[in-house]
Amino acid sequence: MKNEKNSFNAYKTITLSISENLPLQEIKEIKSLFGKFQSRDVKCEIKKRELTIFLNSLDLRFLKAEVEKLKRRNTSKQLVNILDGIIIEIEKIRSYGLKGKKRVYVDYNKERKVKKRKIKEVGRNRYYYANNNNFSNLNVSMPTDYENKIICGDSHEVLKNLPDNCVDLIFTSPPYNFGLEYKAHYDANYWGEYFDKLFGVLDECIRVLKFGGRIIIDIQPLFSDYIPTHHIISNFLINKKLIWKGEILWEKHNYNCKYTAWGSWKSPSSPYLKYTWEFLEVFAKGTLEKDGNKDDIDITSEEFKEWVIAKWSIAPERNMEKWGHPAMFPEELALRVIKLFSYKNDVVLDPFNGVGTTTFVAKLLGRKYLGVDISEEYCSKARKRIEGIERKLF
C-alpha cells in the first residue's frame, strides 16, 4: 500500500492481483460497486490482471453490506474471492481517523494550519492560570509501607504520611452528597462543609501527585440543588495551579428520569434538564507530558483512537448489590482511565476507594496501588477483590 496524490485529492492505494482475465460483466459489477461512492472518497481501476483501489475515506459497513448483496447475486467463484479480498485488504489498514460513519485514511491526523502557531501560543499565554506554580519536579518513590495497600482511615490524615510527588495517577469518585446510604459516611451534608472536607483531601492529593502526574475526578452535579460540583472542583484545582487537560463525558444512557419537575411540564417556568452522563475532570500537575518507559505502554492503537474521543459510552455498574455499595463506577471506566493516563508499574491512588474498583483494576493492569476509605467494611471487600486476582495468579 502507498499514498498517491493528484491535483484534487490524496489516496492510499491497494493493489490486488487477479489470476485470470475477468469477464466484462464482472468488471462492470466491480465498477458499479465502487460507483456507489463519490470518487473523491474511493474509486477503483482495473488493468490487465490488477485491481487497484484508491482510498481517501470510506464507510466500511456500507461497503460490506453492498459486497454481500453482490455476492448473493453472483455465483462466480473468482468474483466472490476478489470481493472478499477487497474487504480483507481494507481491514488490514489499522491507521485511520473517524469522521461520522467514515474511516479517513489520508491526512486524518493533519491539523488545520495556523500561521505562526507557536508565536501565537506564547502571545495567548497557554494555561496562564497554572504558570508560576511552586511545584517541585523532583519525583520520589511511594514508601513500601504504603505500596499495594488498602488502608482504612480518613484520607486527609492518611495521605499526610506520604512524601511529596510519589503518586503517578489519582482516579477517584468522591461521595456526591446526594443522600445515598454509604457505610460510615453521611451523604447529605451542608454544602459548605462538604466542600471544605473534600478540598482538604484534594490538597493532600495535589501534594503527593508527581510532577507530570494526573488527577481525574468522576463527579455528577446535584441538579436538584443547582450545585455545579464539577465546575466547583475544577475551579478549585485551577486555583491550585493544576493544568486542565480535559473533560470526559461518561455516557451511561440512563434515561430513568422524570419528564416533569416542580410544575414545569410544558412550561418555561422551570424546565428540569435531564442528564444521562457524568463528568470526568482531568488535570495534570506542572506539565502536560508524563515521563514513562515506552515498554510500559499497554494501550492498543484501537483503544487509543477510540478513547481519546472524550465521550465514553459505558453501562453503569450492575453489581452494586453484590458489593453492598450505593455508587460504584464500572471496571471498564477505571480500565480506560488507567490505560490512557498511566504506564505499567505506575502508582495509582484512590482516596475514596469504596469497595475498590480503582485498586482492583490497577492490580489487574500491572500498576501499583493505594486505596484509602473510611469504611472498614468497604476496605475488607476491596482487599478480597485483590485477593481474588492473586489466587488466580498463583
Highest average pLDDT, of 242-246, 268-272, 314-318, 376-380, comes from 242-246
d(CA 143, CA 213): 17
Percent of the chain with pLDDT over 90: 56
pLDDT at 147 over 90: yes
pLDDT tens for residues 169-213?
999 999 887 656 666 666 667 788 999 999 999 999 999 999 999
Mean pLDDT for the stretch of residues 342-353: 97
Mean pLDDT for the stretch of residues 246-262: 73
Q: Regarding predicted confidence, which is higher, 22 or 180?
A: 22
Q: Is 37 left (phi over 0), alpha (psi -120 to 50) or beta?
A: beta
Is the pTM of the predicted complex or chain greater than 0.85? Answer: no
Which of 18-22, 36-40, 88-92, 215-219 is predicted least confidently?
18-22
d(CA 207, CA 278): 26
Mean pLDDT for the stretch of residues 376-391: 87
So what's the pLDDT on residue 258? 53
pLDDT at 245 over 90: yes
pLDDT tens for residues 267-309?
788 777 778 899 999 999 999 999 999 999 999 999 999 999 9
Mean pLDDT for the stretch of residues 35-50: 88
Mean pLDDT for the stretch of residues 75-97: 87
CA proximity to 376, closest of 318, 324, 335, 320: 324
Mean pLDDT for the stretch of residues 123-142: 92
So what's the pLDDT on residue 73? 84
So what's the pLDDT on residue 3? 53
So what's the pLDDT on residue 124? 81
Percent of the chain with pLDDT over 70: 88
d(CA 33, CA 82): 12
Q: Regarding predicted confidence, which is higher, 46 or 328?
A: 46
Which of 30-34, 174-178, 237-241, 388-392 is predicted least confidently?
388-392
Look up cell 500537575; give the residue: 285
pLDDT at 266 over 80: no
H/E stretch holding 15: strand 10-17
So what's the pLDDT on residue 178? 61
Which of 131-140, 183-192, 234-243, 364-373 is predicted least confidently?
183-192
So what's the pLDDT on residue 248? 97
**Domain edges within the chain:** 2-104, 122-393
pLDDT at 356 over 80: yes
Which of 18-32, 148-162, 371-385 is predicted least confidently?
18-32
Q: Measuring CA to CA, how many Å separate 329 from each of 132, 218, 278, 334, 359?
A: 36, 9, 10, 8, 12
Q: Is 211 helix (H, G, I), strand (E, B) or coil?
A: strand
So what's the pLDDT on residue 183? 61
So what's the pLDDT on residue 9? 61
Position 321, amino acid: E
Mean pLDDT for the stretch of residues 53-70: 92
pLDDT band at 5 (very low <50, low <70, confident <90, very high): very low
Look up cell 493544576; give the residue: 242
So what's the pLDDT on residue 146? 97
**Topology, domain 122-393:** Rossmann fold (3.40.50)
Which of 21-35, 172-186, 357-371 is predicted least confidently?
172-186
Which residue intervals of 24-76 are DSSP H helices?
A: 24-34, 60-73
Question: How high is the mean pLDDT of the chain?
Answer: 87
pLDDT tens for residues 318-338?
876 776 676 778 999 999 999
Contact 185, 141 (CB under 8 A): no
